[in-house]
Amino acid sequence: MHKGKNRTVAVMDVGSHSIRFMVAQITAEGGVIPLEDLWKPTNIGRDTFAYGKVQVETIHHTCEILKGFFKLMQDYRVKHYRAVSTSGIREAQNRDYILEQIRLKSGFVVEVINNAQERFFMYKALRENLPDAQKIRDKGTLILDIGSGGVEVSAYSKGNLKFTEYLKVGSLRLRELLADLEKLTLDFPSVMEEFVESRIGFLRPRIEQMNIKYFIGLGGELKTIRRLCESIGLDSEDKFIKKSILAKLYSKVNKMTTDQIVCDYGLQRNQAEVLLPSIMIFYRFLQMTGADEIYAPLLSLRHGILVDMADEFFDTPGKRESLNDIISSVWYIGKKYMVEEVHCQYIERIALAIFDQTEKNHRMGDRERFFLQVACILHDVGKHINLNRHDIHSYNIIRNQDIMGVSSRELNLIANIARYHSEETPELSHENYAVLNDCDRVIVSKLAAILQLAEALDISHKQKIEKIEITASGRELIFKVKSTSDILLEQQNFVNSAMFFEEVMGNKPLIKRKG
């Protein structure tokens, strides 16, 4: 954590059809002051969605653009930057080669982020820039973020995230998937509408029953859409696009070719190609809700990353708020798989108490504590499939979740921690454990050892132990527990789990009942 003056940082989004770069100052209060905001078109997404890999010429072109951005970053004397890539590079078969060439030729180390991380950054951007954010979340709210490769749909009601879905119907992906059909029909928009409906229609009943009144739009060339709406009645200062105005624009663009859009609206070709799919997706989702307008704050992935950097540098209040929202979404997953809520809450409390009181022994930080917390909440989700070997089912379920703000590596760590919450301990003969690197195996083992002790202390699922105090005595850790019940079963299971904890941590846990 840093204190004091503003910091100049840079962020870059290597997207599917454009590369966006921003230099900005972040303040101790979490504010963002843009200094430079640039973009360049790219064919990364077109190559990936059409051929499965990014072509050599596109890679060279991308590296040339990034070299220019790197020089600008040096001119600003920026020491801290974050460069991310999304679906265009994420889904490319040759993504490792692309990232290495970018590193060698431009100087940038680019991180591939998943859908859950994208959603987290956009959530942070909204948190800082949306007026009355909590009030809107308390009502029925739909947030639609249209990217080149996919669409992220999130619904809030009564202050909580109700569901989130990622659909592979991004504006550029639609164009590439249906490119061959466009040559075979004079009514391509109708074909595209049918295809979009086939991919999003399953959400219609769920959205319609939520009584959605607020619709927030992100991405999807929304800045261009809003500008074009001005020609048919939208005030230039208005951040709300009326449903009726969007319908008029949709009807108009629906009858135009890409060349006509380029000519009539003065757009670059890559913008013109994704305009109709973007308007179509926004309009189709808007029809599912009770909202009569789209709020268009014109925020981007870059804004969210900058807010995240401010949270990390200055430990802003928003950092804790974001963490609480992630945990809330994790509980939503747990409830979906019908976990025993009282037991999981108890395990969460006990495990975190052990983690906090043994910090000098494990030397892990806040992020590892978060991994443990999520694993505690979800450790029993596998029981939804089968009570027998539910730990393995829990591992498989968690590994296939999208948890907001959690990278693919981190999700795998959490799944492994939950996998070993019961009697079984990690072994190199287990493929899920063996594929981890040395550092990650240690993290999994330490946190699993803590989770096993917590699970042992509620083996009866009756929450008998009220409080734990841990003190060190040489190589031993004394767990003084307070309880008014018979805890013989818990004590026995604690002793059984203590062996693994001692092996991993080097300290032997002993349980003693307080008088």
- pLDDT for 487-512, tens place per residue? 999 999 999 999 999 999 999 999 99
Average pLDDT over residues 169-181: 85
Give one DSSP letter per residue of 253-300, joined into a string.
HTT--HHHHHHHH---HHHHHHHHHHHHHHHHHHHHSS-SEEE-----
**What is the structure's pLDDT at 136?**
63
> Coil, helix or strand for 166?
strand
In whole angstroms, give the CA distance from residue 232 to residue 279. Answer: 15
Determine which of 176-185, 226-235, 259-268 has the lowest per-residue pLDDT on average.
176-185
Q: What is the mean pLDDT of the chain?
A: 91
In whole angstroms, give the CA distance from residue 27 to residue 8. Answer: 9
Give me the count of residues in the chain: 515
The token pair at 293 is: 């307008």
Average pLDDT over residues 356-375: 96
Nearest to 463 by CA among 451, 473, 472, 454: 454
**What is the structure's pLDDT at 312?**
86
Domain 131-296 carries which CATH code? 3.30.420.150
Q: What is the pLDDT of residues 392-426, one digit of tens each?
A: 999 999 999 989 899 999 999 999 999 999 989 99
Question: What residues does 385 pair with on adjacent strands?
Answer: none
Q: What is the pLDDT of residues 189-224, one digit of tens each?
A: 899 999 999 999 999 999 998 889 899 998 868 889
In whole angstroms, give the CA distance from residue 431 to residue 189. Answer: 48
Q: What is the pLDDT of residues 66-118, one digit of tens each?
A: 999 999 999 999 999 999 999 899 999 999 999 999 999 999 999 999 988 98
Whether the pLDDT of residue 3 is over 60: the answer is no
- The more confidently predicted of residues 89 and 234 is 89
> Coil, helix or strand for 407?
coil
**What is the structure's pLDDT at 4?**
53
**What is the structure's pLDDT at 30?**
73
From residue 339, alpha-carbon distances to 33, 317, 429 in Å are: 44, 31, 29
Q: How confident is the model at residue 329 (pLDDT cuts 50, 70, 90)?
A: confident
Query: What residues does each domain of the chain span?
Result: 7-113+303-309, 131-296, 316-513
Domain 316-513 carries which CATH code? 1.10.3210.10
Reading phi first (left if > 0) and then psi (alpha if -120 to 50, else beta), residue 406 is in beta
Whether the pLDDT of residue 1 is over 70: the answer is no
Average pLDDT over residues 451-466: 96
Determine which of 12-21, 27-36, 427-436 has the lowest per-residue pLDDT on average.
27-36
Contact 166, 113 (CB under 8 A): no
Give one DSSP letter per residue of 48-66, joined into a string.
HHHHSS--HHHHHHHHHHH
Contact 367, 311 (CB under 8 A): no
Q: What is the pLDDT of residues 109-150, one digit of tens each?
A: 999 999 889 888 988 888 777 766 666 666 789 999 998 888
For 7-113+303-309, which CATH class? alpha beta
Q: Which residue has the tokens 């240690």?
A: 442
- Asked whether this chain's domains 7-113+303-309 and 131-296 adopt the same fold, the reply is yes
From residue 273, alpha-carbon distances to 96, 141, 250, 255, 265 in Å are: 28, 29, 14, 14, 12
In whole angstroms, give the CA distance from residue 510 to residue 498. Answer: 8
DSSP class of residue 234 equals -
Average pLDDT over residues 355-382: 97
Whether the pLDDT of residue 320 is over 90: the answer is no
From residue 365, alpha-carbon distances to 124, 307, 319, 440 in Å are: 22, 21, 15, 14
**What is the structure's pLDDT at 132?**
64
Determine which of 155-169, 244-258, 444-458 has the lowest per-residue pLDDT on average.
155-169
The CA-CA-CA angle for residues 72, 77, 39, to 5°, reads 25
For 199, phi then psi, to 5°, come to -95, -25
> Coil, helix or strand for 22?
strand
**What is the structure's pLDDT at 211?**
85
From residue 149, alpha-carbon distances to 17, 87, 88, 169, 272 in Å are: 10, 6, 7, 7, 16
**What is the structure's pLDDT at 342?**
97
